[in-house]
Chain A
Amino acid sequence: MEQTIFYILAAVAVMGTILAITEKHPVHAILYLVTSLFSIAVIFYLLMAPLVAAFEVILYAGAIMVLFLFVIMMLDLGHPERGLSPHRREWLPAMALAGVSIVCLAIVIISRHGAPAASAASALPIREVARHLFQDHGLAVELISLQLLFALVGALYLGRQGAPSPGLRPPSPPGGGAGDEESPS
């Protein structure tokens, strides 16, 4: 039963990804990708990783994809007729390269199919995962938190109104800052 569900979800994920990367409208592409991410989250749950499945739904489908939608709608990019989508002849080399890679991967995996079968691993409780995370990988957690802080500072710096300059300028008086973003730096 679970095997059937896995293969159905795998087909849904692959189809959603194909539709997402061939869709010309960016908003539709994001929505197809959210569908694919949901099915991958259920696959994570089937693979005994409920914590990763929950984070996949909350972070990927809930936060990152909404961030993409925000940027697309804020910058008004939902116009596929502006010529930024690839033509058919641009798909050919990309799909040829990806197809060669897929065939090579399939050959490698099938040729090693005779590996001994795994013993059925027991499910990992979340308590065990958390103990590993904070006892064995404490330094990695600190580095990730520092990286998130740097990303926050960098995004704030890049997203300021007006051109980023080395020195912090005093805030412009209200009403006069409308033309700031047009001025060359």
Chain B
Amino acid sequence: MIVPLEHILCLAGLLFFLGMGGLLAWRANLIMMLVCIEVMLNAVMLVFVGGSARWGSADGQLFAIFIMALTSAEVSLALAMVVYLHRRRKTVDTDRFSEMKG
């Protein structure tokens, strides 16, 4: 363990809340919302790997790998949905997608 766990948690928390602030600020643009969600998930992976290094267990690394697989599935579906919505409305503005009809 090269640095104390608190510093890793501080870094991960900083990245997570930066992603959260970006998600709140970019709420008009679907693509940037997805990018900020990536930042948040990456911070969660950092917490898992830090815990794995702190307690010498392999489970944290395994969950980081699971999060990575989950993220790739989520991003592929979300971007397919962005392409579909853009084909219908010619925009990625979230305010234009406020109705669920058809």
A92 and B73 alpha carbons, distance in the complex (Å): 33
A71 adjacent to B83 (CB under 8 Å): yes
Is A179 part of the binding interface, using a Cβ–Cβ cutoff of 8 Å? Answer: no
Partner among B9, B24, B58 whose Cβ is within 8 Å of the Cβ of A94: B24
- Known A52-B61, A52-B64, A147-B70; judge A154-B77 contact (CB<8 A): yes
Residues of B at under 8 Å CB distance from A?
A: 1-11, 13-15, 17-29, 31-32, 34-36, 38-39, 42, 45-46, 49-50, 52-56, 58-59, 61-62, 64-66, 68-77, 79-84, 86-87, 92-93, 102
Which B residue's beta carbon lies closest to that of A131? B58
A182 and B35 alpha carbons, distance in the complex (Å): 29
Q: Which of A3, A33, A64, A152 has most B Cβ within 10 Å? A: A64
A24 and B84 alpha carbons, distance in the complex (Å): 24
Partner among A3, A40, A109 whose Cβ is within 8 Å of the Cβ of B9: A109
B54 adjacent to A121 (CB under 8 Å): yes
Residues of B within 8 A of A55 (CB): 65, 68
A contacts with B, residue count (CB < 8 A): 84
A84 adjacent to B92 (CB under 8 Å): yes
B68 adjacent to A2 (CB under 8 Å): no
B65 adjacent to A102 (CB under 8 Å): no
- Closest-CB distance, B72 to chain A (whole angstroms): 6
A137 and B22 alpha carbons, distance in the complex (Å): 34
Partner among A48, A59, A85, A152 whose Cβ is within 8 Å of the Cβ of B53: A48
A49 adjacent to B49 (CB under 8 Å): yes
Is A159 part of the binding interface, using a Cβ–Cβ cutoff of 8 Å? Answer: yes
A85 and B93 alpha carbons, distance in the complex (Å): 10
A30 adjacent to B17 (CB under 8 Å): no
A36 and B50 alpha carbons, distance in the complex (Å): 17
A133 adjacent to B62 (CB under 8 Å): yes
- Encoded as 1 (CB less than 8 Å from any B CB) or 0, chain A from 31 to 45 comes to 001001100100110
Partner among A13, A20, A51 whose Cβ is within 8 Å of the Cβ of B61: A51
Partner among A43, A101, A140, A185 whose Cβ is within 8 Å of the Cβ of B17: A101
- Known A6-B2, A52-B64, A84-B28; judge A128-B83 contact (CB<8 A): no
A151 adjacent to B65 (CB under 8 Å): no
Residues of B within 8 A of A52 (CB): 45, 49, 61, 64-65, 68
- Closest-CB distance, A95 to chain B (whole angstroms): 5
